[in-house]
Amino acid sequence: MATAEALYSSLAQGLAATGNDLLRQESLAVAQGLKRQDAGLLDELIVRYQHRLLRYLLYLTSNRELAETCFKRSGCGAGARAQFNGQARFDTWLFTIARNLVIDQRRKRTMASLDELFEARRKTIVR
């Protein structure tokens, strides 16, 4: 029984290592393809992740317009694609960029609302 458990554990570790190697190789291949500006690869990645990414952004923002704006800026720009280096999985990188864009948008909105608040207060004091 102990031998079967040890064999199963060893087999599971081997499969996990193989899976991790495959993910690492895929991430590096995606990074190289994006640096070459492979249009077919970009189209494939957009098709693969567009629905999950948009749903994620809708969840974070609760606003379709803002979600679509962040979606367009998330990984489709040439600058963003060139930054992917293959050290992480592509979807992890893409969703992190999307989350950071939402955070940036919220910061801008908060600052704008604070500016409006101070401006309104200044007008009431001046009168």
Q: Among 99, 85, 96, which Cα is nearest to 24's?
A: 85
Residue 23: partners with Cβ closer than 8 Å, 6 or more residues away:
89
Computed over every residue of the chain, the mean pLDDT equals 77
Helical residues (DSSP H) of 1-127, grouped into ranges: 2-35, 39-61, 64-74, 78-83, 90-126
65-86 burial, b at 16+ Cβ within 10 Å, e below that, comes to ebbebbbeebbeeeebbeebeb
Q: Fill in the amino acid letter for 7.
A: L
pLDDT below 70 — which residues of the chain? 1-17, 19, 75-82, 110-118, 120-127
Residue 58 has a pLDDT of 94
